A and B are shown apart, each in its own frame.
Chain A
Amino acid sequence: MSIEIVDPGSFTTVQDLGRNGYQKYGIPPSGAIDPHSLQLANLLVGNETGEAGLEATISGPTIEFAEATWFAIAGTEWVPRLNDSEIPLWRSVRAEAGDTLSFDEADEGARAYIAFSGGVDVPPVLGSKSTNVRAEIGGFEGRPLQQGDVLDIGSGNDVTAQELPERYRPDPDFDDVRVILGPQDDHFSDAGIDTFLDSTFTVQSDSDRMGLRFDGPSIEHSTGADIISEGTAGGAVQVPENGKPIVLLSDRQTTGGYAKIATVIDADLPKLAQMRPADEASFSEVSLDAAYEARERQLETIAEVERLLQDEALIAEEPIETTDEGRTEESTGDERWVTATMPGEIIAIHVSEGDEVEMGDDLIVYEAMKMENVLTAPADGVVSRINVGEGDSVDNGEELLSVKR
Chain B
Amino acid sequence: MNERTQWADLTFRPIGDKAILVELTREIDPETNRKVRNLWAALEKEPIDGLGEIVPGYCSLLVYYDPSEIRSDALRAEIEAVAGKITEIELPPPKVYHLPVLYGGEMGPDLDFVAEENDLTPQAVIDVHTSREYLIYMIGFSPGFPYLGGMSEDIAAPRLPDPRTVTPARSVGIAETETGVYPVESPGGWRIIGRTPVELFTPEEDPPVLLEMGDYVKFYEISADRYEEIREAVEQGTYEVEITELEAETHVY
Contacts and interface: CB of A to CB of B under 8 A. Distances in A.
Interface of A: 20-27, 125-126, 134-137, 179-184, 227-233, 235-236, 253-256, 260, 263-266, 288, 291-292, 295-296, 299
Given A24-B53, A26-B145, A233 B18 contact: yes
Interface string B65-86: 0011001100000000000000
Contact of B142 (A20, A134, A180, A181): A134
> Considering residues A27, A125, A183, A184, which has the most beta carbons from chain B within 10 angstroms of its beta carbon?
A183
The DSSP consensus for interface residues of chain A is mixed
B71 A292 contact: yes
Given A25-B143, A26-B139, A266 B17 contact: yes
A228 B64 contact: no
Given A182-B13, A230-B62, A233-B64, A24 B206 contact: no
Contacts of A296: 68
Interface string B17-46: 111010000111000000000000000000
A228 B58 contact: yes
A134 B55 contact: no
Contact of B16 (A24, A135, A180, A254): A180
Contacts of A137: 203
B62 A27 contact: no
Contacts of B186: 134
Contact of A135 (B60, B140, B201): B201
B62 A231 contact: yes
Interface of B: 13-19, 21, 26-28, 52-62, 64, 67-68, 71-72, 138-145, 147, 183-184, 186, 201, 203-204, 206-209, 213
> Considering residues B17, B28, B72, which has the most beta carbons from chain A within 10 angstroms of its beta carbon?
B17
A183 B23 CA distance: 10
Given A228-B26, A231-B55, A295 B140 contact: no
A291 B65 CA distance: 14
A253 B17 contact: no
Contacts of A265: 16-17
Contact of A254 (B140, B203, B208): B140
A295 B184 contact: no
Contacts of A292: 17, 67, 71
Q: Top 8 nearest A-B pairs by Cβ distance?
A: A255-B140, A231-B62, A231-B55, A263-B16, A183-B13, A291-B17, A230-B57, A182-B14
A24 B71 CA distance: 23
Contacts of B56: 24, 231
A198 to B, nearest CB: 21
Contacts of B18: 233, 266
Contacts of A299: 68
A135 B27 contact: no
19 contacts: A25-B144, A26-B209, A135-B142, A135-B203, A183-B14, A184-B13, A227-B26, A228-B60, A229-B141, A230-B21, A230-B55, A230-B58, A232-B62, A255-B55, A255-B141, A263-B14, A263-B15, A264-B16, A291-B16
Contacts of B53: 20-21, 23-24
A183 B209 contact: no
Nearest to B147: A229
A232 to B, nearest CB: 7
A5 B141 CA distance: 33
A228 B59 contact: yes
Contacts of A228: 26-28, 57-60
Nearest to B25: A228
B141 A254 contact: yes
